[in-house]
Amino acid sequence: MSSRRGNSLWADARWSLRRNRAAMTAMTIMAIVCVLVLLAPLLSSYEFDSTDWDRISAPPSFATGHWFGTDDVGRDLFVRTLYGGRISLLVGVAATLVSLVIGIAWGATAGYVGGRTDQLMMRTVDVMYAMPFMFFVILLMVFFGRNILLIFVAVGAVNWLDMARIVRGQTLSLKKKEFIEAARAGGVSNFNIVRRHIVPNLLGVVIIYVTLTIPQVILVESFLSFLGLGVQEPMTSWGALVNDGAQAMESAPWALIFPALFLALTLFCFNFLGDGLRDALDPRDRRTS
Amino acid sequence: MLSFAFRRFLSAIPTLLILIALAFALIRVAPGGPFDTEKQLPPEIEARLNEAYHLDEPLYQQFGRYLLGLAQGDFGPSFQYKDFTVTELIAAGFPVSLKLGGLAMLLALLAGISIGTLAALRQNSQTDHVAMAAAMTGISIPNFVLAPLLVLLFAVTLRWLPAGGLGDGGIANLVLPVISLALPQIAYISRLTRGSMIEVLRSDFIRTARAQGLPGREVILGHALKPAMLPIVSYLGPATAGIITGSVVIEQIFGVPGLGRYFVQGALNRDYTLVMGVVVFYGVLIIVFNFLVDLAYRWLDPRVKL
């Protein structure tokens, strides 16, 4: 495979992604959300954990500067929503990285080594697939305290199964290519073949699955926070905010609606982008033609 | 077929054992005991409690005892609900969860397959785009976000439906929880159906059927539907797992006294046996269900060799 053809694959992908209006819109909205979340402290004069004693459970208002209103202890919901977004996105990206590393290592090894090892490794994946994994994450959170680091590890450690399967499949077909054979004939060690030749060629598939895994992870974190098992006060995440909002929704519906909107919008954009990337990078899986 | 069923059944056993062992190990290595309270218990009482619940035995012995009990349908005593065994708690909670989940699954299949088929028949039309955008929205909005929003709209603002509880067990109380539970699955199933239906509609045997002048209705219902359902059948396993997981929050939100609620309460109270009972119970359920799905798949698609 010459580098020229490699280029044209990516150029092709870029071209078809640009033409996909839904995916481009999704990317724009995601960029806006990311900028908002990063610039959170600069956008409002309120702190995320300080109370405005005069305005408790106040509705959204431009005059007071509480654009999304305040919660039942008078904290500004605009700032809290953005800070919650920091945690949600951070967990999404970090836990996805954990699952990425495990999944690629596992899948590439199984696919490259093959034989018994492959069977054993993939059988393990099958067994883990059959586990009620959400229940195990809940158990982990309950028993080992509720810190963010554990969320990354717990979610990442149970979310790598899809990645491992896909990577293995790709590796199996890559293994038979001439350039791998050439590398082996040239005396490159197995480890280096996997590292330098197999893994970089998995990039396309991996990118698609990263975009699809991030929203899944954000969802899991929100789920945990919603049950009260995720991040702890005064820090917050979108899931925790939705939970707080749901409890106060009869008197203060804005506390539910804004975080819910941000959470849904972000997940929506990631899913749309993932779909667009799949169409762009993986012609075989094109469902609509 | 029979030997396939048998082999498939055998391969489910190690999965089951690993599930039980994992749950057991996780709970035993966890810090904090079931009798941790604000007040320190006198050591002799704690020793007595540990003895009564066999917590003083070596781990392998406890595990053996647990397995033996499980084989007889005995999940052990609950540590928090002192007068009940876990088996009794599961027996109380599961029918409620089953009703909720079963209805949600039924709704998801009916609505998902209809929407997906409709979208496939009018591929790239306005209907198709709207249906698929709606499905994407359904996938993106988690049900714990959707449920409070539905309550806000239909129970708080419009006052058409009750906001929670089971009331007298009537349908009105079930509408919102069932819909909240089913919507994400409707979205997945309609996307799957659309994809596979489009593929099937392009195949030769459909073209032949059409060429022979069979009415469109008959082509779809009589010929295309069965092969198009294969991916849906294999999705039933994950769908069940999704509905079970979803029921944990949905039961919490709507105050439905099902198994999911016991699980969350048990987890928060470190009720070892209850939590483990629920995990094992649902794990077994999912494994058995996957087994049945595999059989059904094999029956529907004779080409499959496993």
What is the residue-wise DSSP string for B145-211? HHHHHHIIIIIIIS--S--SS-TTS-HHHHHHHHHHHHHHHHHHHHHHHHHHHHHHHTSHHHHHHHH
Which token pair is A246? 């749901």
Which pLDDT band holds residue A283 (cuts at 50, 70, 90)?
A: low
- Residue A282 confidence class, pLDDT cut points 50, 70, 90: low
Question: Cα–Cα distance between B98 and A163 in angstroms, integer?
Answer: 32
- Using 50, 70 and 90 to split pLDDT, how confident is the model at A76? confident
Q: Which residue did the predictor score with more confidence, B5 or A145?
A: B5
Mean pLDDT (chain A, rounded): 79
Cβ–Cβ gap A260/B148 under 8 Å? yes
Within an 8 Å CB–CB cutoff, is residue B141 touching chain A?
A: yes
- The phi and psi torsions of A59 (rounded to 5 degrees) equal -70, 165
Residue A19's pLDDT is 78
pLDDT in tens, B156-186: 777 777 776 666 666 777 888 899 999 989 9
Angle made by CA atoms A231, A233, A239, in degrees to the nearest 5: 45
Question: Is the complex ipTM higher than 0.90?
Answer: no
Q: What pLDDT does B114 receive?
A: 92
Please report the pLDDT score of residue B304 as a whole number.
60
Over residues B195-222, the mean pLDDT reads: 86
Q: What are phi and psi of A52, to 5 degrees?
A: -100, 95
Q: Residue A40's pLDDT is what?
A: 73
What does the pLDDT average to over B216-224?
84
Nearest by CB to residue A268, choosing from B15, B137, B264, is B137
Q: Tell me, what's the pLDDT at A192? A: 86
Among the residues of A159-237, which ranges form H helices? 161-175, 178-185, 190-192, 199-201, 203-226
Q: Is the pLDDT of residue B109 over 90?
A: yes
The Cα of A162 is separated from the nearest Cα of chain B by a number of Å equal to 13
State yes or no: pLDDT of B260 exceeds 50: yes
**Taking the model in full, what pTM does it have?**
0.77
Respond yes or no on whether the N-terminal peptide bond of residue A234 is cis (omega within 30° of 0): yes
What is the per-residue pLDDT for A82? 87
Give the tens place of pLDDT for each residue, B14-41: 888 888 888 788 777 766 666 666 566 7
C-alpha closest to that of B232 among B191, B182, B288? B191
Higher pLDDT among residues B268 and B178, named by residue: B178
| Structural tokens at position A202 | 């998995």
Supply the mean pLDDT for chain B: 82
Give the torsion sign (CA, B63, B69, B73, B76).
negative
Residue B305 has pLDDT above 60, yes or no: no
* Min distance B245 CA to chain A CA atoms (Å): 7
A chain contacts of residue B134, beta-carbon cutoff 8 Å: none
Percent of chain B with pLDDT over 70: 91
Res. B104 pLDDT band, cuts 50 70 90: very high
* A162 confidence band (pLDDT: 50, 70, 90): confident
Whether the Cβ atoms of residue B112 and residue B138 lie closer than 8 Å to each other: no
Residues of B whose CB is below 8 A from A130: 15, 19, 283, 286-287, 290
- Helix and strand tally (H, E) in chain B? 13, 0
pLDDT of residue B22: 81
> How far apart are alpha carbons A258 and A264 in whole angstroms?
10
pLDDT band at residue B57, thresholds of 50, 70 and 90? Answer: confident
Cβ pair A150, B37 in contact under 8 A: no
Residue A76: strand pairing partners:
A70
pLDDT at B64 over 50: yes
Residue A4 confidence (pLDDT): 46
Q: Cα distance from B155 to chain A (closest Cα, Å)?
A: 10
Q: Do A226 and B249 touch (CB under 8 A)?
A: yes
For residues B199, B204, B207, B213, the Cα torsion angle rounded to the nearest 10 degrees is -130
Q: Cα(A95)–Cα(A97) distance, rounded to whole angstroms?
A: 5
Q: How confident is the model at residue A200 (pLDDT cuts 50, 70, 90)?
A: confident
CA-based nearest distance A249→chain B, Å: 7
Burial grade of B305 (CB within 10 A; 0-12, 13-18, 19 or more): exposed
Percent of chain A having pLDDT more than 90?
A: 0
Characterize A136-175 residue by residue with b for buried, 16 or more Cβ atoms within 10 angstroms of its Cβ, and e for exposed: bbbbbbbbbeeebeebbebbbbbbbbbbbbbbbebbeebb
**What mean pLDDT is predicted for residues B104-131?**
90
**Nearest-by-CA chain A residue for B142:** A219
* Contact predicate B273/B79, CB 8 Å: yes
Per-domain boundaries in chain B: 2-71, 91-300
Interface test with A, best of B149, B192, B244, B261 (most A CBs within 10 A): B149
Question: Dihedral sign, CA of B10, B12, B18, B21?
Answer: negative
Q: Considering only alpha carbons, which residue of chain B is nearest residue A220?
A: B142
Q: Is residue B106 scored above 90 in pLDDT?
A: yes
What's domain B91-300's architecture?
Orthogonal Bundle (1.10)
Residue B110's pLDDT band (cuts 50, 70, 90): very high
**Predicted confidence band at A259 (pLDDT cuts at 50, 70, 90)?**
confident
- Asked if B151 reaches chain A (Cβ–Cβ under 8 Å), the answer is yes
For B268, the closest of A142, A222, A249 (CB atoms) is A142
Q: What is the pLDDT of residue A286?
A: 42
Nearest CA in chain B to A143: B30
Where residue B92 falls among pLDDT bands split at 50, 70, 90?
confident
What's residue B245's pLDDT?
84
The per-residue pLDDT for range B65-87, each reduced to its tens digit, is 888 888 887 777 777 777 788 88
According to the model, what pLDDT value does residue B190 have?
A: 92
Contacts with A, B 237-266, CB within 8 Å: 241, 244-245, 248-249, 252-253, 263-264
- CA distances, A51 to each of A41, A54, A67, A75, B30 (Å): 16, 9, 15, 5, 37
At B85, is the secondary structure helix, strand, or coil?
strand
